[in-house]
Structure 1
Amino acid sequence: MISVKMLKPYYIKSNENYVRIILAYQYFAVVINKKVYQFIPVEAKEIRINRRTRKVENIGARFAFQKGKDIVYMTMSELLSLPDFLFQLHTIAKPYYENVEEEKNQSINESAIIIDELEHLNVKRLIDRALDERNEEAFYNLVKLL
């Protein structure tokens, strides 16, 4: 039986598209047949998660764990099959997911403000045109929109 004893990121890097959880020795350990194996950064040493889909991207990564002279290799897909690994992983990455949602909402709000300003300016131009053409009916209808 395999379970995750500890999963702490050494550090986390994030950009527009990905959250990269960098792992280091003594920050990641698994229990295999009641023996604790420590992560060693021999092959893969990061977990890359897509911020939009919230899925792990580097499925083919292979992680090494050591206990004494015994080294065990596990692929990302094997680790993802462990419920406690998934839970801890998403707990670590969750704050970075929320930032994506906040950025989207902020972008939508900014766009709405810009559109409102443009519509307001357009109505003012139409009022000016109605005055130039001495179109009283259009003038009064447009003033109501302000």
Structure 2
Amino acid sequence: MLTVKMLKPYYIKADGDYVRVILAYQYFALFINEKVYQFVPTKSKEIRINRRTQEVVNTDALFAFQKGKDVIQVAMSELVSIPDFLLQLNEIAKPYYVREEEIIHEKNENAIIIGELEYENVKRLIDKALDERDKNAFDKLVELL
């Protein structure tokens, strides 16, 4: 049975799409069969989370844990099935998630840009209709403005 003893990031790195929680020795430990195993950065050493969906992306990552000479590898897919792990990870990454207001603002900006592009395109089509002396197309396009 797996439970989280301690989960602290060594450091956190955020870019446009992901939050990367970088792990180091003595910052991450699990109880595995009632024994404490310390994280060792021999395999994967980061947890990558999508900033918008708040989901762990690198579910195929393998993490190594050691107690004495005994080394156990645990897959990220197994770690995300532990509720305590997800709660602690969420608290760590929460300040880096994209807030709802940012998403709304981004959608509004995109809508404005698309509207401007459509307006410019209609103006070009009006110029084309004038060049071709196509009165029907000109009348229809002028109504769109």
Mapped to 2, the partners of 1:108 and 1:86 lie a distance apart of 29
Deviation at 1:102, TM superposition (A): 3.9
* Paired amino acid for 1:6: M
Aligned to 2:31: 31
Once the two structures are superposed, what CA deviation does each residue of 1:99-146 show, in whole Å capped at 9, x if it has no partner? 44343345467789x89xxxxxxxxxxxxxxxxxxxxxxxxxxxxxxx
Mapped to 2, the partners of 1:87 and 1:8 lie a distance apart of 12
Listed as ranges, the gaps of 5+ residues in structure 1 are: 116-146
Highest Rg: 1 or 2? Answer: 1
Aligned to 1:75: 75
SS in 2 for 1:59: coil
Deviation at 1:31, TM superposition (A): 0.4
Mapped to 1, the partners of 2:27 and 2:110 lie a distance apart of 43
Question: Relative to structure 2, which stretch is displaced further, 103-112 or 15-24?
Answer: 103-112
SS in 1 for 2:89: helix
Question: Relative to structure 2, which stretch is displaced further, 57-66 or 87-96?
Answer: 87-96
- Root mean square deviation, CA, Å: 2.1
Aligned to 1:142: none
Mapped to 2, the partners of 1:61 and 1:111 lie a distance apart of 35
Mapped to 2, the partners of 1:37 and 1:109 lie a distance apart of 48
Paired residues, number: 114
SS in 1 for 2:56: coil
1:64 aligns with 2:64: yes
Listed as ranges, the gaps of 5+ residues in structure 2 are: 114-145
The TM-score, its normalising length taken from structure 2, stands at 0.71
SS in 2 for 1:29: strand
Mapped to 2, the partners of 1:43 and 1:85 lie a distance apart of 19
Deviation at 1:91, TM superposition (A): 1.1
Q: In the TM superposition, what are the counterparts of 1:43-62 in structure 2 within 5 Å?
A: 43-62=43-62
* Paired amino acid for 1:45: K
Deviating above 2 A after TM superposition, structure 1's stretches of 4 or more consecutive aligned residues are 99-112
The TM-score, its normalising length taken from structure 1, stands at 0.70
Identity %: 66
